[in-house]
Amino acid sequence: MPDRLNGSYYRATANAWRTQASLGSSLNCDVVVIGGGFTGLSAALACAEKGLSVVLLEAQTIGFGASGRNGGQLIPGLRWSMREIDAEFGRERAQAIFNLAYGAVDRVKHRIAEHHIQCDAKAGHLEAAYKPAHFDAMQRDAAFLAQHFGWEAQIVQSQDIGRHVHGGGYHGGIYDAQGGHFHPLNYALGLAKAAQKAGVRIYEHMAAQTPVDTGTQIEIQTGTGAGAATLTAKHVIMAADTWTGGIAPDLRSYTVPIMNYNIATAPLPNADQLLPSDAAVADSRFVLNYFRLSADKRLIFGGGEKYVQTPPADIGAFVRKHIAEVFPSLGNVPIDYAWGGAVGVTMNRLPHMGRKGNVFYAHGFSGHGALVTTLAGELMAEAVVGTMSRFDVFANFPHSRFPGGKWLARPLATLGLLYYAMRDRL
């Protein structure tokens, strides 16, 4: 990954963390977890709490992937509104999906409180309407959510939007006091410490190869040269998100990686005027702008996507034009940090979870993973000990592969995404 993707504000303000020493040449355990992001860490912690012996392998460092780079926006639910979910799956299934997807908010809050995770967690999320038609749809969604599922979010008329954001010219929005924002890398590191305390052995810089099911156990090779090791386990949890295809080629075409970029400005003297309620804000465009304040009053802003893997030569300049659209007064604001990462997106924008024998997987949270990944990890831990009912609610989402095979899937998906991005501009 190019260096210019790694210069994040989160890395610069990460809490201290110490990983396990070296692994040795062989190791046997109940569960090997592959990937040290929210999903893998949550799964590892939950497995250890169930009394299982757990090893977590992370190819780089904890939070190296999307979990340590994201916008930190805690947005309850999934990418589909409950109105869409209800229409597609019927009330009974919608209720089960609601219980999990919206219950994920409490799981994250619970983990933060239980393990005293210092991650600058704040309450309040605003979805801001970019077009009047978006606001109409938002109001219908919010009314449906309240009436049928009892989830109350506040409708904010356009004349009141300044309570939350001064900029953007938004046509109203939905304020959800149960959403919020946090420092994602410090949340990941907090989960890692909690997992370690619960007995999970965490090894960084140890990339797992494709798990091999021998019929009696699963073998995982990791490391190279003198550091090579063979792990054997009863179960494997794959939590490698956009890298999943590298260890499970048959899962590759279920997601495409979309590059997304973030910056952190210098601390802003007028930060509280720009975002008076300190809520995180995401607008309703297909390629959205999303922003919030850090604990030290920087604007953390994400905007613009790229459908090629190569990052812009100057990420700050790339994001700056989107900042200026929302906050014209910040057109020349100093940018202290700029970074980027890959968002794993499925065809239908719902997470892709499932199992192949004793290998469980979850990936493709489609830009909506800051809350749901903690839950997804816990669902996989339940499945490992044989409790399938909640896992199956998510594992039964209907998924299709991106067409085009190994070489054409990304270009074809790109064409589709560009079409939707263009519609926003019309």
Ligand X SMILES: Cc1cc2nc3c(=O)[nH]c(=O)nc-3n(C[C@H](O)[C@H](O)[C@H](O)COP(=O)(O)OP(=O)(O)OC[C@H]3O[C@@H](n4cnc5c(N)ncnc54)[C@H](O)[C@@H]3O)c2cc1C
354 beta partners: 361
One-letter identity of residue 111: R
For position 417 contacting ligand X by CB under 6 A, the verdict is no
Nearest distance from residue 368's CB to ligand X, in Å? 5
Residue from the set 182, 243, 291, 318 that interacts with ligand X by CB under 6 A: 243
Is the sign of the CA dihedral 402, 211, 390, 152 positive or negative?
negative
Check binding of 66 to ligand X (CB under 6 A). yes
- In the set 255, 260, 294, 374, which binds ligand X (CB under 6 A)? 260
- What distance in Å separates the CA atoms of residue 16 and residue 9, rounded to the nearest whole number? 15
The verdict on 35 binding ligand X (CB under 6 A) reads: yes
Q: Which stretch binds ligand X (CB under 6 A): 125-133, 235-243, 378-386, 398-406?
A: 235-243
- Binding track, positions 364-383, relative to ligand X; x by CB under 6 A: -x-xxxx--x----------
By DSSP bridging, strand 289-293 and strand 280-283 are: antiparallel
Please say whether the dihedral angle defined by the alpha carbons of residues 321, 323, 329 and 334, taken in this order, is positive or negative.
negative
Closest approach of ligand X to the CB of residue 115, in Å:
17
Decide if residue 158 touches ligand X (CB under 6 A).
no
Q: Is 279 in the site for ligand X (CB under 6 A)?
A: no
Q: Looking at 71, 167, 180, 304, which residue binds ligand X (CB under 6 A)?
A: 71
Near ligand X in 83-122, by CB under 6 A: none
| The one among 13, 15, 53, 60 contacting ligand X by CB under 6 A | 60
Shortest Cβ 242–ligand X spacing (Å):
6
Closer residue to ligand X, CB minimum distance, 47 or 59 = 59
If you search the block for the tokens 């979010």, which residue do you land on? Answer: 153
Q: Does 294 bind ligand X (CB under 6 A)?
A: no
Name the one range near ligand X by CB under 6 A: 36-44, 47-55, 112-120, 352-360. 36-44
Does residue 229 bind ligand X (CB under 6 A)? no
d(CA 396, CA 390): 10
Member of 8, 9, 31, 36 binding ligand X (CB under 6 A): 36
- Based on the shown chain and the rule CB under 6 A, indicate whether residue 67 belongs to the binding site for ligand X: yes
CA atoms within 13 A on the CB side of 141: 21
Interaction between residue 289 and ligand X (CB under 6 A): no
38 binds ligand X (CB under 6 A): yes
Interface with ligand X includes 223 (CB under 6 A)?
no
Per CB under 6 A, 304 contacts ligand X: no
| Main-chain dihedrals φ then ψ at residue 230, nearest 5 degrees | -115, 125
Distance separating alpha carbons of residues 145 and 136, to the nearest angstrom: 14
In this chain, which residue has its C-beta nearest to ligand X? 369
Nearest distance in Å: CB 370, ligand X: 3
Binding site residues, ligand X, CB under 6 A: 34-40, 57-60, 64-67, 69-73, 75, 207-208, 239-241, 243, 246-247, 260, 262, 290, 302, 340-343, 365, 367-370, 373
